Amino acid sequence: MAMAPTIKVVLGSIAFGVFWVLAVFPAVPFMPIGRTAGSLLGAMLMVLFQVLTPDQAYESIDLPILGLLFGTMVVSVYLERADMFKYLGKLLSWKSQGPKDLLCRICLISAISSAFFTNDTSCVVLTEFVLKIARQQNLPPHPFLLALASSANIGSAATPIGNPQNLVIAIESKIPFGEFLFGIVAAMLVGICVNAVILLCMFWKVLCVQKDEEEPPMEVTPEEDVNSHRFSPATMSHLTPENSHDLNAYHEAMNSYSLPAKWKLILWKIGVYVITVAMLVSFLAELNMSWTAITDAMALVVLDFKDARPCLEKVSYSLLVFFCGMFVTIEGFDRTGIPEAIWNFMEPYAKINKVSGVAVLAIVIVVLSNLASNVPTVLLLGSRVAAAAATISPEKEKKAWLAWVSTVAGNLSLLGSAANLIVCEQARRAQHSGYNLTFWAHLKFGVPSTIIVTAIGLPLIRA
């Protein structure tokens, strides 16, 4: 693609710059309008500056990605109502053998739950459990919070539904769910183990601290001690006890039901789990992922047999709007010719059939993912990397390794992933914790973990 006329290059760069600033720093003093509005502002400027026509802007919006994202969010809402995440939290403390065992459990459970329920969701619902258990064990929460966030990012790389950038890669490159999963799962499992070893080495002395003998034995975190959460990957809105009245009333009503009504509740939960498993099986059977997710979401709505408005209101529509604006903004910036010029300069040094080329690409993706966020990075580089790989060998065209690098890159800094920010904010707001995970504290762990896990995982990617 040739460079656009100078006026379009300048105006398109301004529009993209506005989007980038508000996406990375959503509360800048001169325009604190947030990420979603910033995304729409960038898209509007692309059309207003005539970098894109209105028709081109609408055509750039990827409906299959939005449909898959919507469907998986609805499914996660019903799974939360069916206490799936409460059971995952209980696994953290069940017959725990001490701090080191707890840290390893957090790594494993966080990774697996993130692969199938998104990393943001897992971090929102598991942070409170981790803080509760750390407090009961009289341990500092720092290593456990790092284990939760970093493992959630690594685990989410294994499936197309683990995080937004994977959705983009899987749908654009048409990698089947099963091929994506089995192509990355080895790297994910090894990455989780390596990440856990790094955490154990860095915090070995802290994890050797024993509980006071007078302290009562650790108990499973009771449901009422954990705040409820709205599922919202974009903002992960926190429900305080005051505004979670409806959900508390719901559980109280369930506890007061007669035996037959309780059996109805149990059967309903089983139905939710069966439908969710059916969705995953359908993905493995290579059915259309977007419509499969929407179909399963509607099946859960029908199974619930009541007004779906309260559950549908928990879906993060702001995230869907953010994606719409981002698609338009990225398409406009792409049409300026700047990304193509940058790629043409970098391509001779980024051949994926050479170790040096893979290293260059990985470094560029890690840096851009932390500076400009991983989803825009994937949108800008994904198709170009695939096209360059196809010229070398058709079987190298698949881009699952791009999902691995761009996702693990989120562990580098506190700002590299929404999951990191969610854990940090949840810990800061927690009633009995108030712990502040600082940028530098995260960076000291994030740099070695990201470099080592990315490097070890790349040779294991098979898709």
- Classify residue 23: in a domain, yes or no: no
- Classify residue 243: in a domain, yes or no: yes
pLDDT in the model for residue 239: 40
pLDDT in the model for residue 83: 87
pLDDT in the model for residue 302: 95
163-180 pLDDT, tens digit each: 888 888 888 777 888 889
96-134 pLDDT, tens digit each: 777 888 899 999 999 998 998 888 778 877 887 888 888
354-409 pLDDT, tens digit each: 788 888 888 888 888 887 777 888 888 877 777 776 666 555 555 678 889 989 99
Mean pLDDT across 41-65: 94
For residue 3, report the phi and psi dihedrals to the nearest 5 degrees: -65, 140
Residue 118: domain span = 60-460
Provide the domain count of the chain.
Answer: 1
In the chain, the N- to C-terminal Cα span, in Å, equals 28
Report the C-alpha gap between 458 and 455 in whole angstroms: 6
Mean pLDDT across 32-45: 90
- Classify residue 439: in a domain, yes or no: yes
- Classify residue 41: in a domain, yes or no: no
pLDDT band at 53 (very low <50, low <70, confident <90, very high): very high
16-36 pLDDT, tens digit each: 999 988 877 777 788 888 888
pLDDT in the model for residue 152: 93
314-330 pLDDT, tens digit each: 888 888 898 899 899 99
Residue 211 has pLDDT above 60, yes or no: no
- Classify residue 166: in a domain, yes or no: yes
Residue 253 has pLDDT above 60, yes or no: no
pLDDT band at 223 (very low <50, low <70, confident <90, very high): very low
Evaluate whether 286 touches 176 at the Cβ level (below 8 Å): yes
Residue 305 has pLDDT above 50, yes or no: yes
pLDDT in the model for residue 258: 59
pLDDT band at 455 (very low <50, low <70, confident <90, very high): very high
Residue 256 has pLDDT above 90, yes or no: no
- Classify residue 30: in a domain, yes or no: no
Between 191 and 213, the more confident residue is: 191
Between 237 and 67, the more confident residue is: 67
Mean pLDDT across 50-62: 94
